[in-house]
C-alpha cells in the first residue's frame, strides 16, 4: 500500500513557558505527522499539551511561552481563491511546493500571515470569545475573506453569504447583520467554521470545537465538519477529550501525555489493539455499549503531574500498571515504530533495552 502524502510533519517540537517559578515544558518533544486529507484526533487528559502543540503550529504562543526546539515542516499551499471548494477526485497530483519550517518563520511575517487562514485555519473551543463583540458577523466574515482573497466588498459579502448557508445557517443575510452576542453558541461556532473555511485551507485545526456546546449541537457540528471535510478534502487535526467523537471522526489517533506523543496509529488499530499503557488506560476509562454487564468504569490512578514536576524516565511511570522499577523510572522510553504509520513510546516495545536491564519479555507479560 502506498504511503499517504504528509502535509505536516512535527519533529521534536518543544514549546516552553519561562515563568519566575521555573520553566513549564508544556510541549516537550512532540513527533507526529498529518497526512493530507485525513483526520487525526489528538487525545490525552487535561494539561497534556494538546492546545499548546496546536497553537505552536500557527505560532500563536504568547510570552512567556516560546518554541525552543524542533521543526514544523509544512508542505501545503494556497488553493487560490477557494471557499468551500469541492474535492476534485483527479487532483491527486497537486504539485508539492517546497516544504517550509513554520517554527523558523517570524511570527509576524507576511509568509506566516499568508499561511494562516489561507492554508491552515483554526477553530477554538469558545466560539463567542473568538469573535469580536464589536463587529457584525458580516464584517468579520468579509474581512477574513478579503484578507486572503482579492475580492471587492460586494464579492466578499456574496461569498460570505454562500459560506454561511454552506455551514447550515438559515436566513444568512439576517445573520450577517447580527452581532455575536445575538447568536447561540452553536450558531457562533458555525460562523467560526465559515470564517475558517473561507479561504479553502488544506488543514483545519479544531481545538475542542464542541466542548462549550450542548450535546445535540455538538453532534450537529461534528456532522458538519465531517461533511465539509468530505467535500473539500482538507485534513483535520481534531483535539478532543471525547473518545466517542474520536471513534466517529478519526482516521488516525495521536495520544499525548505530558508534552509528548506516546502513541500514534490508525483509529481501528489503536482502539482494538492499543500498545501504550496510557492508551490502554484511557480506553478502559470509557463505557462500552452492549457489553450486557454493569461494570464499574476504570479510572487512571493519580493525576497528570504538572510539567514542572515531570517524573524522571517515562513520564507516565508513576501511574502505569506495567512500570518496571529501575527501568521506567530511569530511562526515557524510545519512540518505537510498530508499523508503517504506527508508533508507541514505551520500553515494552524494546526488548534489547529490557534485556539490558535484566527484564525478559515473558517475565514482563506475566507481571502485567
Ligand atoms: N500561558 C501559560 N503559562 C504557563 N503555563 C501554561 C500556559 N499555557 C499553558 N500552560 C501549561 O501548559 C501545559 C499544557 O497546556 P495545554 O493547554 O496545552 O493542555 P491541554 O492538553 O490542551 O489541556 P486541556 O485539554 O485542558 O485544554 C499545562 O500544564 C498548562 O498549565
User: Tens digits of per-residue pLDDT, 195-223?
Assistant: 998 888 999 999 998 887 788 888 888 88
pLDDT at residue number 81: 43
pLDDT at residue number 147: 87
Mean confidence (pLDDT) of the chain: 87
* Of 47-51, 224-228, 275-279, 298-302, minimum mean pLDDT range: 298-302
Nearest residue (CA) to ligand 1, atom 8: 52
**Straight-line distance from the first to the last Cα atom of the chain, in angstroms, rounded to the nearest whole number:** 34
Q: Which residue has the higher pLDDT, 214 or 138?
A: 138
- Mean pLDDT of the region 145-170: 90
What are the angstrom distances between the C-alpha of 40 and each of 54, 168, 366? 12, 24, 34
Distance CA 106, CA 13 (A): 17
ipTM over 0.85: yes
25 lines ligand 1 (CB under 6 A): no
Distance CA 127, CA 196 (A): 12
Instruction: Indicate whether 235 pLDDT > 60.
Output: yes
> How far away, in angstroms, is 301 Cα from ligand 1 center?
21
Helix (H, G, I), strand (E, B) or coil at 198: coil
Nearest residue (CA) to ligand 1, atom 4: 17
Residue 292 — pLDDT band, cuts 50, 70, 90? low
> How far away, in angstroms, is 343 Cα from ligand 1 center?
24
CB 133 within 8 A of CB 181: yes
Q: Which atom of ligand 1 is nearest to the CA of 24?
A: 5
48 lines ligand 1 (CB under 6 A): yes
- The pLDDT tens digits for 339-351 are 988 999 999 998 8
pLDDT at residue number 86: 43
pLDDT at residue number 152: 93
> How far away, in angstroms, is 26 Cα from ligand 1 center?
6
- Mean pLDDT of the region 241-261: 93
- Mean pLDDT of the region 164-172: 89
> How far away, in angstroms, is 201 Cα from ligand 1 center?
26
Ranges of beta strands (E only) in 200-357 are 203-207, 235-239, 252-257, 260-266, 335-339, 342-345
Nearest residue (CA) to ligand 1, atom 24: 46
> How many other C-beta atoms lie within 10 A of the C-beta of residue 152?
10
- The pLDDT tens digits for 80-104 are 544 344 444 344 334 345 799 999 9
Nearest residue (CA) to ligand 1, atom 16: 49
Nearest residue (CA) to ligand 1, atom 29: 47
Whether cis (ω within 30° of 0) applies to the bond prior to 64 is yes
Residue 19 — pLDDT band, cuts 50, 70, 90? very high
> How far away, in angstroms, is 92 Cα from ligand 1 center?
38
> How far away, in angstroms, is 52 Cα from ligand 1 center?
6
Distance CA 81, CA 78 (A): 8
Q: What is the DSSP letter of 315?
A: T
56 lines ligand 1 (CB under 6 A): no
pLDDT at residue number 205: 96
- Mean pLDDT of the region 250-258: 96
Q: Which residue shows C-alpha cell 506566516? A: 112
46 lines ligand 1 (CB under 6 A): yes
pLDDT at residue number 362: 53
- Mean pLDDT of the region 223-238: 91
* Of 132-136, 215-219, 324-328, minimum mean pLDDT range: 215-219
47 lines ligand 1 (CB under 6 A): yes
Three cell numbers written together for 12:
521534536
> How many other C-beta atoms lie within 10 A of the C-beta of residue 54?
21
Instruction: Give every CB contact of residue 290 below 8 A, 6+ residues apart in sequence.
Output: none
Nearest residue (CA) to ligand 1, atom 28: 47
pLDDT at residue number 84: 43
> How far away, in angstroms, is 318 Cα from ligand 1 center?
21
Amino acid at each position: 500500500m502506498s504511503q499517504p502524502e504528509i502535509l505536516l510533519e512535527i519533529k521534536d517540537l518543544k514549546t516552553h513557558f519561562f515563568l519566575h517559578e521555573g520553566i513549564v515544558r508544556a510541549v516537550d518533544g512532540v513527533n507526529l505527522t498529518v497526512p493530507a486529507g485525513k483526520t487525526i484526533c489528538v487525545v490525552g487528559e487535561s494539561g497534556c499539551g494538546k492546545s499548546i502543540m496546536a497553537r505552536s503550529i500557527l505560532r500563536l504562543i504568547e510570552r512567556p511561552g516560546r518554541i525552543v526546539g524542533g521543526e514544523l515542516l509544512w508542505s501545503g499551499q494556497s488553493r487560490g481563491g477557494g471557499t468551500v471548494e469541492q474535492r476534485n477526485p483527479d487532483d491527486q497530483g497537486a504539485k508539492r511546493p517546497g516544504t517550509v519550517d513554520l517554527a523558523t518563520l517570524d511570527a509576524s511575517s507576511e509568509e506566516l500571515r499568508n499561511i494562516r487562514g489561507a492554508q491552515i485555519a483554526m477553530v477554538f473551543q469558545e466560539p463567542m470569545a473568538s469573535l469580536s463583540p464589536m463587529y457584525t458577523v458580516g464584517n468579520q466574515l468579509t474581512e477574513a475573506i478579503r484578507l486572503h482573497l482579492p475580492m471587492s466588498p460586494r464579492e466578499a459579502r456574496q461569498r460570505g453569504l454562500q459560506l454561511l448557508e454552506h455551514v447550515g445557517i438559515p436566513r444568512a443575510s439576517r445573520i450577517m447583520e447580527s452581532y455575536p452576542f445575538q447568536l447561540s453558541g452553536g450558531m457562533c461556532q458555525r460562523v467560526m467554521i465559515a470564517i475558517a473555511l473561507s479561504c479553502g485551507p488544506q488543514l483545519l485545526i479544531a481545538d475542542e470545537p464542541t466542548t462549550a456546546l450542548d450535546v445535540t449541537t455538538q453532534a450537529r457540528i461534528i456532522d458538519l465538519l465531517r461533511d465539509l471535510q468530505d467535500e473539500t478534502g482538507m485534513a483535520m487535526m481534531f483535539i478532543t477529550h471525547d473518545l466517542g467523537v474520536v471513534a466517529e471522526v478519526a482516521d488516525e489517533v495521536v495520544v499525548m501525555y505530558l508534552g509528548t506523543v506516546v502513541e500514534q496509529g490508525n483509529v481501528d488499530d489503536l482502539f482494538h489493539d492499543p500498545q501504550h499503557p496510557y492508551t490502554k488506560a484511557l480506553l478502559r476509562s470509557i463505557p462500552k455499549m452492549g457489553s450486557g454487564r454493569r461494570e464499574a468504569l476504570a479510572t487512571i490512578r493519580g493525576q497528570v503531574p504538572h510539567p514542572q514536576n515531570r517524573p524522571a524516565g517515562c513520564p507516565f511511570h508513576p501511574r502505569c500498571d506495567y512500570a518496571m522499577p529501575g527501568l521506567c523510572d530511569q530511562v526515557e522510553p524510545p519512540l518505537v515504530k510498530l508499523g508503517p504509520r504506527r508508533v508507541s513510546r514505551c520500553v515494552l516495545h524494546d526488548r534489547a533495552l529490557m534485556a539490558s536491564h535484566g527484564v525478559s519479555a515473558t517475565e514482563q507479560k506475566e507481571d502485567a
